[in-house]
Amino acid sequence: MNRETAPHGLSPLDRIRRRLAEGPRREGEFNGDGRDLAPPRPPTPAAVLVPLVVREQAPSVLLTRRTDHLHHHPGQISFPGGRLEADDASPVHAALRETEEEIGLARSHVELIGALPDYLTGTGFRVTPVVGLVHPPFDLTLDAFEVAEAFEVPLAHFLDPRNHQEHCILHEGRMRRFHAMPWHGYFIWGATAGILMSLYRLLHEEA
């Protein structure tokens, strides 16, 4: 059982479960590094799994580091996931399928509890973040072509606003903003940090 509890007496995972069960939330002030861009075509549907690992002492978030040779976001920290394929019945199906393919995490270990608002990326994807509780014990088998490593970060790190950063960059003549949440040498930014900010807002917005 998770020993870390919020001031309300509920654990962070219980609070996340409850807020997701209440239904869709409004989007934040910007929900995507591609939100203000004018895409030449409709965004490509994609989905990721936001894996919240149920550890005895405190929950953690399971993340991956992409290999350096990939076309999209090489070397970046990400959630397991990818674009929806023709035979994917839903974003949930795509997120679970991609998770199994990328890191070998069986869907039998994942308890689905909801989804966060879609996230628009500057590379033209509309990503549905599917939230799942991952119950140990489990083994991972990484796809060496796509995933360089998998690691866990305490959930508390992402829920602490002192660890939240916002950066600006001039890209193709336009100023773009993005979130970042560095952790122990890992620069967690872009869509991954933006989705984690959605999780943070879920717990701190008024219902």
Residue-level pLDDT at 25: 59
Averaged over 1-29, what is the pLDDT? Answer: 70
Give percent of the chain above pLDDT 90.
68
Residue-level pLDDT at 29: 45
pLDDT tens for residues 26-35?
Answer: 554 446 665 5
pLDDT tens for residues 99-134?
Answer: 999 999 999 999 999 999 999 987 889 999 999 999
Lookup: tokens for 61:
């978030």
DSSP string, 16-40: HHHHHHT-PPPP-S---TTTTS--S
Cis previous bond, 137, omega within 30: yes
pLDDT at position 4 over 60: no
Average pLDDT over all residues of the chain: 87
Residue-level pLDDT at 206: 53
Cβ pair 124, 44 in contact under 8 A: yes
| Residue 114, beta-bridge partner list | 131
Residue-level pLDDT at 17: 96
Rounded to an integer, what distance in angstroms lies between the CA atom of residue 76 and that of residue 68?
8
CA separation (Å) from 44 to 85, 176, 178, 186? 10, 20, 20, 27
Nearest of 197, 63, 59, 78 to residue 133 by alpha carbon:
59
Burial bucket for residue 43 (CB in 10 Å: 0-12, 13-18, 19+) = middle
Residue-level pLDDT at 168: 80
Residue-level pLDDT at 82: 93
